[in-house]
């Protein structure tokens, strides 16, 4: 029977198909404040406010007319480029559609029903969802009172069922970084058959002298995989490109399980151009970090007790984060509320000033 249907009487039939319980139990995706309104500054997604390097825009433009062709199956060119830049064999590098998609791939490869994945909490909001999709159980270890990872408690949380431990440094959303020695000791404390995923999305903004050197750690620990992204310091969030570094054997198996052509041609081209514009990236990072210093100094003058944030964002552990975010939006910027506090990205100077006005008033409450 053919029925004509206008959108108004669009009564969808109920699907009889049932998805795996782990999937059906996921919370529905709620898009964040978009900030697409021109007058709203977006300080809720940890993007840099600068456009990508001119060489990146040029490369994308030049390659746009070639997208009728498939890209390399596994982003081979970008792997080679990264290999040169990092001094690591290309066999130890896996590229993909943003580091979150690599994280998903690696978790699926390493953990499943009955397994456990340990990570600090609060951390990146994608972690619990990605773990749930694998069927494994999340073991969340509370952050230290200052928002860092309690690595000793995390090591103690590892059991025979633990397949993966995730470490986020600097941690999103608290902007607290672990030190190289802490991570090294942590790796020594863990069984060699537990995979450790080090999420280094904000590594460029960590200017502490004790910063983790994951390339050094990779030489000693074949159970370590470091994840990095072009979304933050390189300003390519909209294109989706990230990479994972690890032992060749692990990387090779995980690559075999990945979606072919997982890195699109424009993202590959742009990421290569971004790697070859180190001065531009350096300037962006310097500007963001200079603003971060200015903002933190001002926050302290306002009476906030803030540590030294090591990401391109800062964290205020306030008791009314949702009220703060709602007021921020009324004043022209977005902030990211969590139950334990609010995360604010370092953005344009004008946007940071707008945020400081509100934090100043909040400090008086
Ligand atoms: C932004 C971010 C990423 C990057 O994700 P992409 O998929 O590469 O854009 C990864 N991990 C954390 C903790 C982040 O905050």
pLDDT tens-digit map of 216-238: 999 999 999 999 999 999 999 99
Q: Which residue has the higher pLDDT, 322 or 27?
A: 322
pLDDT at 9: 60
Residue 68 has pLDDT above 90, yes or no: yes
* Separation of alpha carbons 281 and 228, rounded Å: 15
CB 236 within 8 A of CB 51: no
pLDDT at 38: 66
Residue 199 Cβ inside 6 Å of ligand 1? The answer reads yes
Atom of ligand 1 nearest to the CA of 168: 13
Mean pLDDT of the chain: 95
Model pLDDT for residues 28-50, shown as the tens digit of each residue = 877 655 555 568 999 999 999 99
pLDDT at 7: 54
pLDDT-based confidence at 3, cuts 50/70/90? low
pLDDT-based confidence at 10, cuts 50/70/90? confident
Residue 288 has pLDDT above 60, yes or no: yes
* pLDDT (average), residues 267-287: 98
Residue 201 Cβ inside 6 Å of ligand 1? The answer reads yes
Can you name the residues that pair with 42 across neighbouring β-strands? 334
Residue 124 Cβ inside 6 Å of ligand 1? The answer reads yes
Compute the distance from residue 232 Cα to the ligand 1 centre, in Å: 8
Model pLDDT for residues 111-160, shown as the tens digit of each residue = 999 999 999 999 999 999 999 999 999 999 999 999 999 999 999 999 99
Residue 85 DSSP label:
H
* Separation of alpha carbons 326 and 156, rounded Å: 39
Percent of the chain with pLDDT over 70: 95
pLDDT at 25: 85
Percent of the chain with pLDDT over 90: 89
Atom of ligand 1 nearest to the CA of 101: 7
Cα angle, residue 165 at apex, residues 121 and 213 outer, rounded to 5°: 95
What is this structure's pTM?
Answer: 0.94
Model pLDDT for residues 72-85, shown as the tens digit of each residue = 999 999 999 999 99
Backbone angles phi, psi at 243, to 5 degrees: -145, 155
* pLDDT (average), residues 268-287: 98
Residue 169 Cβ inside 6 Å of ligand 1? The answer reads no
Residue 258 has pLDDT above 70, yes or no: yes
Compute the distance from residue 82 Cα to the ligand 1 centre, in Å: 18
Compute the distance from residue 107 Cα to the ligand 1 centre, in Å: 15
Backbone angles phi, psi at 14, to 5 degrees: -80, 125
pLDDT at 27: 83
* Separation of alpha carbons 312 and 47, rounded Å: 8
pLDDT at 6: 53
C-alpha R_g of the chain:
21
Structure tokens at 77: 């060119």
Specify the residue for token string 């990230």.
242
Peptide bond before residue 122 is cis, with ω within 30 degrees of 0: yes
* Separation of alpha carbons 360 and 354, rounded Å: 10
Residue 296 Cβ inside 6 Å of ligand 1? The answer reads no
**178, 214, 289 from 220: Cα distances, Å:** 18, 10, 31
* Nearest partner of 247 among 221, 208, 268, judged by Cα: 221
Residue 175 Cβ inside 6 Å of ligand 1? The answer reads no
Model pLDDT for residues 166-218, shown as the tens digit of each residue = 999 999 999 999 999 999 999 999 999 999 999 999 999 999 999 999 999 99
* Separation of alpha carbons 96 and 234, rounded Å: 15
Residue nearest to atom 11 of ligand 1 (CA): 201
């Amino acid at each position: 029977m053919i029925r004509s249907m206008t959108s108004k009487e669009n009564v969808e039939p109920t699907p009889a198909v049932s998805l795996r319980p782990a999937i059906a139990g996921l919370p529905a995706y709620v898009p964040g404040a978009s900030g697409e309104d021109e007058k709203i500054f977006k300080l809720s997604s940890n993007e840099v406010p600068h456009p990508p390097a001119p060489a990146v825009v040029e490369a994308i433009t030049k390659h746009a007319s070639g997208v009728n062709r498939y890209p390399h199956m596994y982003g081979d060119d970008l792997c080679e480029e990264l290999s040169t830049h990092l001094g690591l064999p290309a066999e130890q590098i896996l590229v993909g559609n943003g580091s979150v998609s690599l994280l998903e791939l690696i978790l699926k490869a390493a953990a499943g029903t009955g397994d456990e994945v340990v990570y600090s909490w609060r951390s990146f909001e994608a972690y619990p969802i990605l773990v749930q999709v694998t069927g494994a159980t999340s073991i969340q270890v509370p952050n230290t009172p200052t928002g860092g990872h309690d690595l000793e408690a995390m090591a103690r949380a590892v059991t025979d069922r633990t397949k993966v431990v995730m470490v986020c440094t600097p941690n999103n959303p608290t902007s607290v970084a672990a030190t190289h020695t802490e991570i090294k000791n942590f790796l020594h404390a863990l069984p060699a058959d537990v995979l450790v995923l080090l999420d280094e999305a904000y590594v460029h903004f960590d200017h502490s002298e004790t910063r983790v050197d994951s390339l050094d750690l990779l030489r000693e620990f074949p159970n370590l995989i470091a994840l990095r992204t072009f979304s933050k310091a390189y300003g390519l969030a909209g294109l989706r490109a990230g990479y994972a570094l690890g032992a060749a054997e692990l990387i090779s198996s995980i690559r075999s399980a990945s979606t072919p052509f997982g890195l699109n041609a424009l993202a590959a081209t742009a990421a290569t151009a971004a790697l070859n514009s180190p001065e531009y990236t350096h300037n962006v990072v310097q500007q963001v970090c200079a603003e971060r210093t200015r903002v933190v100094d001002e926050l302290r003058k306002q009476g906030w007790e803030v540590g030294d944030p090591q990401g391109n964002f800062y964290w205020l552990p306030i008791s009314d984060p949702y009220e703060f975010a709602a007021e921020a939006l009324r004043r022209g910027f977005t902030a990211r509320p969590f139950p334990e506090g609010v995360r604010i990205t370092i953005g344009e100077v004008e946007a940071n000033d707008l945020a400081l006005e509100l934090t100043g008033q909040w400090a008086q409450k």
